[in-house]
Copies of this chain bind each other. A is one copy, B any other.
Amino acid sequence: MTLVSLCVTCPNREAGLCGALLGAVSEASKSDQNSGWQHFTAARAGEQIAVRNQVSSDVFVLCAGWAFRYYQLSDGRRQILQFLLPGDIFSPTTIFEKAFYFSVKALTQVRLSAFARSEIRVRCAADSSVQRAIAKACVAETLDAAELSTALGQFSAEERIAYLLLHLIPRIAARNVIREQRYPFPLRQQHIADAVGLTPVHVSRVFGQFRERRILALSEGVLTVSNLAELEKIGSLR
């Protein structure tokens, strides 16, 4: 696996942590290309990629496809904490902790990149831009989590779903060419339900309302947003 294919692999490589790590690779690779400090895996849709308390010496980044990170309760309920898109690290906390505090499942077919934690640490100590990128990713994850808590604690069903979509839309747009407000959207209503703390039945009703009010429509894995302003009025945190 060469550097070129690695870069092609990561559509969102310019931004965020992934970019900094790959930058670090580029620098480092001048002297030690193919050092084996990163490798690749794939998984099919629905496949479990990681479980809570699992120990790994690697830090994972999603290269292609969609996945989600969640917290599983013993009675079957689960809270989806984040939808992972290409370029996303599972969680910056995995750089510091050997064991996952969450589980991960593939939503579509995915490809993963695994970096050796020990090597990330070495390169972090050597390169302050990696340090900054990690700090930034930690702050972003914390902020996201706080906003999610706020939405779950304070918002109505309508508001929560709008919030979730508003959170996803710019992230999807950063990774795909969007025409006519049509966003690739592989989530089932069950996933949305588990992310916003509602039942799939109620999610369906809310989507029905959004459709009637000509705010958005969802079909065949495509989300079409026809009234973004209205959606923001409903689901924005500010």
Binding site for B on A (CB under 8 A): 71, 73-74, 77-79, 81, 91-93, 96-97, 101-102, 135-136, 138-139, 141-143, 145-150, 152-154, 195-197, 237-238
Give min CB distance, A97 to chain B, whole Å.
Answer: 6
Task: Tell me which of B81, B139, B150 contacts A71 (CB under 8 A).
Answer: B150
Given A147-B71, A237-B73; A142-B138 close (CB under 8 Å) = yes
Would A96 and B148 count as touching, CB distance under 8 A?
no
User: Cβ of A101: which chain B residues have Cβ within 8 Å of it?
Assistant: 142-143, 146
Give min CB distance, A7 to chain B, whole Å.
Answer: 27
Task: Tell me which of B78, B96, B102, B142 contacts A154 (CB under 8 A).
Answer: B78
Q: Once the chains are docked, how many angstroms separate the CA of A103 from the CA of B102? A: 28
Would A152 and B197 count as touching, CB distance under 8 A?
yes
Would A143 and B93 count as touching, CB distance under 8 A?
yes
Q: Once the chains are docked, how many angstroms separate the CA of A238 from the CA of B53? A: 12
Task: Give the nearest-CB partner of A132 in chain B.
Answer: B96
User: Cβ of A143: which chain B residues have Cβ within 8 Å of it?
Assistant: 93, 101
What are 27 pairs between A and B in contact, CB < 8 Å?
A71-B147, A71-B149, A73-B150, A73-B154, A73-B237, A74-B238, A79-B149, A79-B150, A79-B154, A81-B146, A81-B149, A81-B150, A92-B138, A93-B138, A93-B139, A93-B142, A96-B139, A101-B146, A138-B142, A142-B142, A142-B145, A145-B145, A145-B148, A152-B152, A153-B195, A153-B197, A154-B197
